[in-house]
Amino acid sequence: MKTLEDIKAMSYQEKDELEDLVLEIIDNNDLVKLKDILKDYPVKISCYELHFKNKDNEYPLFEPMNLILRAAHACEDNNNDFSILDYLFDEYGLSLKDPKYNFYHSDMKYIKEANDKYILMEEVEDTIICRNALIYDYILSADNPNSQIIKYLVNRGAKFEVYNEDTNWTPMHFWVMQNNYELLELAIKGGANVDMQTRLI
């Protein structure tokens, strides 16, 4: 079992190589190998404490968003095999209970407010920052986004209610304006609220 001191002693390159190995194992849908590696890396100090700095951002050993998204893609690629997602949430201990974990650590600095009902992102030059939220990232990056996987992530705490401070819209509101019915239908089948309002100031 690795200690906090063991992790802090790693170089950024070692961190990157280890995370790449874990992500490759997830891509291969190899639950046995994944358990064998992660059993040595406690979730709290490996995923939720920042030990590495690169340019302007600090990072944990394993970025929770990376693990969850890659597991969602592996699930999609393996006929909705949820075993790795189940392991990551139920055994390893990843959690979206704190809504800020709908984002990468590097994007959390743009969160103005995060609660049970919604997440509000600050107005920034990158107007698509809301699309970096877990549920939107999955939908927009998956080869064949799957409503069952979307529903699974929503049930685990992923949020569609991620608002841009400038417009007070979510990405779903932009999809309506763009007549992007395919993505809207997928989101609604996955559990998005069809009556979702723009955020009232």
Q: What are the tens digits of pLDDT across the range 83-113?
A: 999 999 999 999 999 999 999 999 999 999 9
Between CA 48 and CA 42 the distance in angstroms is 10
Give the Å distances, CA to CA, from 140 to 93, 136, 144, 165, 186.
Answer: 26, 6, 9, 21, 11
Q: Given pLDDT bands bounded at 50, 70 and 90, which one contains residue 166?
A: confident
Whole-number pLDDT of residue 130? 87
Q: What is the pLDDT averaged over residues 153-159?
A: 97
pLDDT digits (tens, 9 = 90+) for 135-154: 999 999 999 999 999 999 99
Between CA 166 and CA 147 the distance in angstroms is 29
CA–chain centroid gap for 36, Å, is 23
What is the DSSP annotation of 92-149? I----SSGGGGS-GGGGGGEEEE-SS-EEEPP-S-TTGGGGSHHHHHHHH-SS--HHH
pTM assigned to the model: 0.94
- Using the predicted structure, report yes or no on whether residue 127 has a pLDDT greater than 70: no
Is pLDDT larger for residue 199 or for residue 113? Answer: 113
